[in-house]
Amino acid sequence: MRAVIQRVSSASVTVDSQIVGSIDTGLLILLGVGQDDSRNDAIWLAAKIAGLRIFPDEAGKMNLSLTQIQGKALVVSQFTLYGDCKKGKRPSFVQAAAPEIAKTLYQDFIAELIGHGLKVETGTFQAKMDVALVNDGPVTLILDSP
């Protein structure tokens, strides 16, 4: 699994002119599922993200996790994170998981975040989505499961 994590002061996702998910302070998580990913990847990645110390403490040092600040997560599926642009001008997505597998692991990942006590909003799987965010910092990280 691959995640692009952005620390945000606000973020939302819109489908067909309707906001389907929105958060204030927390993380926007763009999540891609690869062909070889399993439930163990979802478990590992959710625990890693829930515990990442990327929020400022009272001294302004990145020392607090999403769980500690009781922040929220907005999870948006994004198969294009597995786009391979090494050859030609058009990305290849052969490393992305098939939609039925990706959806199950996407849902597993969300369930794991909720299991860590986080409030989670989502986009709509396989929909065309418009994502808006205010990146705080900016802080943006890329994580791959083992």
> What is the set of active-site residues?
78-80
- CA–chain centroid gap for 5, Å, is 6
Q: Rounded CA gap, 26 and 35, in Å?
A: 29
Beta strands in the chain (DSSP E): 2-15, 18-23, 26-32, 53-56, 62-65, 72-77, 119-122, 130-144
Query: In the structure encoding, which two tokens stand for residue 87, read together?
Result: 């050859």
- Evaluate whether 3 touches 48 at the Cβ level (below 8 Å): no
Q: Rounded CA gap, 111 and 120, in Å?
A: 9
